[in-house]
Amino acid sequence: MSLPGHPHIAYRNGALHIEDCPAADLAQRFGTPLYVYSRGSMLAALAPYQRALAGRRHLVCYAVKANPNLSVLQTFARAGCGFDIVSGGELERVLAAGGDAGKVVFSGVGKTRREMARALEVGVRCFNVESTAELEALSEVAQAHGKRAPVSLRVNPNVDAKTHPYISTGLTHNKFGIAHEEALAAYRRAAELPGIAVHGIDCHIGSQITEPGPYLDALDKVLDLIEAVEAEGIRLTHIDFGGGLGITYTDEAPPAADALITALLKRLDDRGHGQRELILEPGRSLVGNAGVLLTEVLYLKPSAHKNFCIVDAAMNDLLRPTLYEAVMGIVPCAPRAGAAEHTWDIVGPVCESGDWLGRDRRLAVQAGDVLAILSAGAYGMSMASHYNTRPKPAEVMVDGAEAWIVRERETVADLFAREQLAR
Ligand SMILES: *Cc1c(COP(=O)(O)O)cnc(C)c1O
């Protein structure tokens, strides 16, 4: 029986499996804390995007920041994906993983001139430009390299994505994008700059969006703007509609990717924009439910007020719970049949009261048990830090019954290798 929202993660004969690999065996073999990713799950999450877009001019650009492990990028590159990047570092990862620069879109409010030059050199598909100041800088850099930079302007449609404030990006008080009412002037400026070639329009309204309404509202605003821009003789060929589709962590019920895309395509057709190329930038929805974080229970610390289950993973390994108060599923790898459940806060060893991974969870656990934190494939390892001089977890990719290391566990010596004692 697979877990809700996690088709490749299931209990079989009383043991949690990731595809055909028992999770407890992986923990034993590779140690904990351990990130484990299911390749089948990633490809299964991509399939509805590709299905719904078949027959249309389109590009699915996996958002690298969700999980930038080279093997993850390689998986999507081989499946034909492009990439949405937000830094020069992510660009190098894409190239190292065999990705095609010509399918890369470069987003982000603070691209440096050096990053722009490198992206021009390798020939990225498009720069998603977020301000007129950036437009001027990009034009100068492109001219200095004898090029014209392909550009779409990221517009901020001012719609409420109805998600956590930290991951909402499409409101006027967010730092992202160009305000809707300033976009026309920015397009006029872009069209006259010598180092810029206007290609498209871009928007990304937030993350972990669980209803279609905000998407359709944003699309209408983008189409209004396209019509206004084209009325001035500035041609736009593609619409980049960003990412942001939510996943089921516990009881969320986001629309399926193919249903959402079908609704978006219908709106495009109804308004006479069906011929435009559609670029999408999904991150979380492709990898979130493909990953788990395995962690061993170190100590139980029951008390009159609160019961703490202290595990070897912590906020530095998985920041989402404390950063967004995110609720992530936590399940035992080998459930103790018949044992009494108690209510536990699952906490790590880091010296912060905010270091918790789950609160008030009903579990039957003992020291030495291995727990799986679900839906940890997106914004898990990619947000990990070394706080408290904790080496980052190893990462493992599973394909059927095979499992192999895709990032070695760091050693403590790695963490201070670049430091020096004072003179
Ligand atoms: C983060 C981000 C994405 C991916 O968002 P998800 O919620 O992971 O799908 C796509 N585009 C841009 C510009 C982003 O910043």
Full residue range of the structural domain in which residue 149 is found: 107-282
Q: Check whether residue 220 and residue 122 sit in a common domain.
A: yes
Q: Does 241 score more than 80 pLDDT?
A: yes
**pLDDT confidence of residue 159:** 86
**Which residues, in sequence order, are bridge partners of residue 268?**
none
Q: Check whether residue 123 and residue 213 sit in a common domain.
A: yes
Q: Does 420 score more than 90 pLDDT?
A: yes
- State the pLDDT confidence band at 170, using cuts at 50, 70 and 90: low
Distance 394 CA to ligand 1 centre (A): 24
**pLDDT confidence of residue 16:** 98
The reply to whether 295 falls in a domain is: yes
- The CATH number for 353's domain is 2.40.37.10
Name the percent of the chain lying above pLDDT 90.
91
5 lines ligand 1 (CB under 6 A): no
Q: Check whether residue 250 and residue 146 sit in a common domain.
A: yes
**pLDDT confidence of residue 165:** 72
CA-CA distance, 44 to 287, in Å (whole number)? 10
- The CATH number for 219's domain is 3.20.20.10
Query: pLDDT for 63-113, tens place per residue?
Result: 999 999 999 999 999 999 999 999 999 999 999 999 999 999 999 999 999
Q: Check whether residue 188 and residue 119 sit in a common domain.
A: yes
Query: Token pair for residue 351?
Result: 């010296």
> Does the annotation mark 309 as catalytic?
no
The residue ranking higher by pLDDT, 277 or 170, is: 277
The reply to whether 73 falls in a domain is: no
Is the Cβ–Cβ distance between 14 and 332 less than 8 Å? no
Identify the domain boundary among 263, 282, 301: 282
Q: Which of 65, 134, 289 to mutate to test the pocket of ligand 1 (most atoms within 8 A of CB)?
A: 65
CA-CA distance, 188 to 414, in Å (whole number)? 50
Over residues 230-239, the mean pLDDT reads 96
Q: Check whether residue 155 and residue 200 sit in a common domain.
A: yes
CA-CA distance, 364 to 371, in Å (whole number)? 11
Q: Check whether residue 18 and residue 167 sit in a common domain.
A: no
**pLDDT confidence of residue 157:** 87
Q: Check whether residue 250 and residue 293 sit in a common domain.
A: no
Query: pLDDT for 323-355, tens place per residue?
Result: 999 999 999 999 998 899 999 999 999 999 999
Distance 204 CA to ligand 1 centre (A): 7
Q: Check whether residue 147 and residue 269 sit in a common domain.
A: yes
Identify the domain boundary among 222, 247, 282: 282
CA-CA distance, 1 to 142, in Å (whole number)? 55
Q: Check whether residue 293 and residue 208 sit in a common domain.
A: no
**pLDDT confidence of residue 179:** 87
Q: Check whether residue 175 and residue 276 sit in a common domain.
A: yes
Of residues 33, 44, 16, 11, the one with CA closest to residue 288: 44
Is the Cβ–Cβ distance between 33 and 348 less than 8 Å? no
Identify the domain boundary among 282, 305, 328: 282
Over residues 405-421, the mean pLDDT reads 97
- β-pairing verdict for 277-280 and 21-22: unpaired
Q: Which of 72, 87, 90, 107 to mutate to test the pocket of ligand 1 (most atoms within 8 A of CB)?
A: 107
The reply to whether 63 falls in a domain is: no
Is the Cβ–Cβ distance between 357 and 347 less than 8 Å? yes
CA-CA distance, 361 to 344, in Å (whole number)? 5
254 lines ligand 1 (CB under 6 A): no
The reply to whether 75 falls in a domain is: no
- Total domains in the chain come to 2
The reply to whether 32 falls in a domain is: yes
- β-pairing verdict for 238-240 and 291-301: unpaired
Query: pLDDT for 211-222, tens place per residue?
Result: 999 999 999 999
The reply to whether 90 falls in a domain is: no
The reply to whether 374 falls in a domain is: yes
CA-CA distance, 99 to 115, in Å (whole number)? 17
Q: Check whether residue 257 and residue 405 sit in a common domain.
A: no
Cβ atoms within 10 Å of 410's Cβ, excluding its own = 15
Query: Token pair for residue 217?
Result: 């509202």
Q: Check whether residue 143 and residue 205 sit in a common domain.
A: yes
The reply to whether 53 falls in a domain is: no
